[in-house]
Structure 1
Amino acid sequence: MRVCFYGTDEEITRICERPVLALLGPRRTQRVVAFELSDVAISTDPYGAVYRLAADLAEIHREEVNE
């Protein structure tokens, strides 16, 4: 799945420093799911200090995390 994150330089840098993201389900009724970022591309807004990070997001299964 392709996703985009928008934020300041500092916020985008924090995302890039973490190759694995953990997302909670709505109202914590679902399990925590881990995702790995790949094919990351960062672009800038020509009129401001906002950055856009586009990346592929793939779910990591428990077996892959434990290896």
Structure 2
Amino acid sequence: MRVCFYGTDEEISRVCERPFLAVLGLRHPDPVLAFELSNVSVTGDPYGTVFRLAADLAEVRKEAGE
């Protein structure tokens, strides 16, 4: 799935520093879902105050016994 995040340079940098993203699954059987980021691209607005991170997300499945 392809997603976009918008934020300041600090917020986008924090997302880019991590290869995985954890999401709380409130209405999902698993309380926390993990996603791997790939094909990341970052663009900025002409004024440099807001940045857009676009990335592919792939859910990381936990293997049996882990």
Same fold (TM over 0.5): yes
Q: Tell me the percent identity.
A: 68
Aligned length: 62
Aligned residue in 1 for 2:4: 4
Give the TM-score, by structure 2 length: 0.85
Which residue of 2 is the match for residue 47 of structure 1?
A: 47
1:48 deviates by 4.3
Amino acid at match of 1:15: V
Superposed CA RMSD: 1.3
**Structure 1 residues not aligned, in runs of 5+:** none
Give me the whole-angstrom Cα distance separating, in 1, the residues matched to 2:35 and 2:61. Answer: 9
What SS is found at the alignment partner of 1:62? coil
